[in-house]
Amino acid sequence: MREIGEREVEWIAEGAAVLGTGGGGNTYLAGLDLRRLLRQGARVRVVQAEELPDDAFGPVLSGMGAPTVGIERLPVAGRFGALVRATGRALGRDPAFVAIGEVGGANALRPLSGAAESGLPVVDADPMGRAFPELQMDTYMIAGVPPRPLLLNDGKGVEARLEGVPDPWTAERYARALTWAMGGNAGVVVGVVTAAQVRAYGIPGTLSLAQEIGRAMERARAGKRPTLDAVLEAVPGGVRLFEGKVVDVSRRTAAGFARGHVVIDGLGAWRGERLRIEFQNEYLVARREEDGAALVAVPDLLVLIEEESGRALGSEMVRYGLRLHVLALPAPWELKTPAALRVVGPSAFGYDVDVAPLPGDLLGRAAPAAVGAAG
């Protein structure tokens, strides 16, 4: 068990933006909410799943909706704390911890507000290890943890509780529609997990990883070193994929997704080459422009670091002329099992690409033999 303060929140925010792989929403407002809670004396404690008894359980918390709506409605004080209490009411037993639904982007911070408001610790794990756009792209769901209860809070005093939701696809569809009706922005609980389930199916240590990435980046900045080096030190399996200047950006919106691609003209060691990155909110596939050959694909993480600021760049911010470094970080092995790849692999996003996942693991762990054979 450890406690985090304002500095750690800033590190987590910066690291979560890296793990957001271009999506996941801006961490600025969620960070301000948490800072206020800490200054008011609230405490945020982080526990490892191993410290908790097997049958202890917690709600999986996240925010849902359009980032463009979030910047108007702002975070609502007490919303995630209310969702924790609602979970207790729905199950007739009080939760013992708070679980993170998505460690990439702003959703890394929202459960911490829930922890601060409820007094419960947050468990250092999540079911994505990055940002994904939809609820079913989640290792708890892939393992068969039911999305029950499904709770939504509109921030105005209305709480929705959906019973009997059979599967994560249904949860995604209903929650998305309700979120829109609630004003395009909701706090959600998608099921509960026990500590045993977090240990079995969750990706451990991802909150700490976000914090470590952010801390290393801040240290690099202070030492006038490139922040991308810091990211690669924090994620030893990562590689520098490309460096260059954006020469083309194309965007369109389809079915609620900001789809598009970026073309980067190589500089330095990559002069004379071009890289194309396709995105749907998150960066999903990197291809050699010359022949279209895929080099890296989801679930591996594509991270664009803007040279001047040294910060991870959201896909909505990419524009012509920016100098970028492209990093590829290996997905955690939990996302590379055959069952997981069906849900979070390239085909789940409509890409027909055949590319071997990057060797290694986001957290530097040795993969279980079964996964190594499959990968």
Looking at 42, 76, 96, 239, which residue binds other proteins (CB under 8 A)? 76
Nearer to other proteins, 256 or 364 (CB): 256
Between the two ends of the chain, the Cα-to-Cα distance in Å is 34
Looking at 1, 41, 92, 157, which residue binds other proteins (CB under 8 A)? 157
Query: DSSP string of 162-225?
Result: E----SHHHHHHHHHHHHHHTTSEEEEEEEEEEHHHHHHHSEETHHHHHHHHHHHHHHHHHTT-
Q: Least distance to other proteins from the beta carbon of 343, Å?
A: 18
Nearer to other proteins, 197 or 280 (CB): 280
Check binding of 114 to other proteins (CB under 8 A). no
CA nearest neighbour of 327 among 362, 293, 354:
362
> Tokens 């408001």, residue?
117
Q: How far apart are CA 54 and CA 71, in angstroms?
A: 39
Looking at 33, 159, 172, 300, which residue binds other proteins (CB under 8 A)? 33
Nearer to other proteins, 118 or 194 (CB): 118
φ, ψ (nearest 5 deg) of residue 184: 85, 15
Is residue 132 exposed (0-12), middle (13-18) or buried (19+ Cβ within 10 Å)?
buried
Looking at 21, 113, 118, 337, which residue binds other proteins (CB under 8 A)? 113
Check binding of 266 to other proteins (CB under 8 A). no
Q: Point out which span in 69-77, 187-195, 271-279, 287-295 binds other proteins (CB under 8 A).
A: 69-77
Looking at 42, 45, 51, 77, which residue binds other proteins (CB under 8 A)? 77
Check binding of 356 to other proteins (CB under 8 A). no
Cβ count within 10 A of residue 314? 24
Tokens of 251: 């965007």
Q: Least distance to other proteins from the beta carbon of 351, Å?
A: 19
The sign of the CA dihedral 234, 235, 239, 243 is negative
Site string for other proteins, 238-257 (x = CB under 8 A): -------x-x-----x--xx
Q: 206-222 and 6-19 are packed helices; what angle lies between their axes, rounded to 10 degrees? A: 100
CB 148 within 8 A of CB 52: no
Q: Least distance to other proteins from the beta carbon of 372, Å?
A: 35
CB 324 within 8 A of CB 337: no
Nearer to other proteins, 29 or 371 (CB): 29
Name, in order, each residue with C-beta under 8 angstroms of 298's C-beta and a sequence gap of 6 or more.
Answer: 282, 284, 285, 331, 344, 345, 346, 348, 349, 351
Residues touching other proteins: how many (CB under 8 A)?
43
The overall longest dimension of the chain from CA atoms, in Å, is 63
Nearer to other proteins, 222 or 252 (CB): 252
Tokens of 305: 């670091």
Cα radius of gyration (the chain): 19
Nearer to other proteins, 68 or 119 (CB): 68
Q: Least distance to other proteins from the beta carbon of 19, Å?
A: 18
The verdict on whether omega for the bond into residue 147 sits within 30 degrees of 0, i.e. cis, is: no
Q: By CB under 8 A, what part of segment 169-198 binds other proteins?
A: 176-177, 179-180, 183-184
Q: Least distance to other proteins from the beta carbon of 35, Å?
A: 8
Looking at 87, 136, 194, 281, which residue binds other proteins (CB under 8 A)? 281
Looking at 75, 95, 127, 238, which residue binds other proteins (CB under 8 A)? 75
Site string for other proteins, 295-324 (x = CB under 8 A): ----------------------x-xxxxx-
Check binding of 62 to other proteins (CB under 8 A). no
Check binding of 156 to other proteins (CB under 8 A). yes
- Site of interaction with other proteins (CB under 8 A): 29, 32-33, 36, 64-69, 71-79, 113, 133, 155-157, 176-177, 179-180, 183-184, 245, 247, 253, 256-258, 281, 317, 319-323
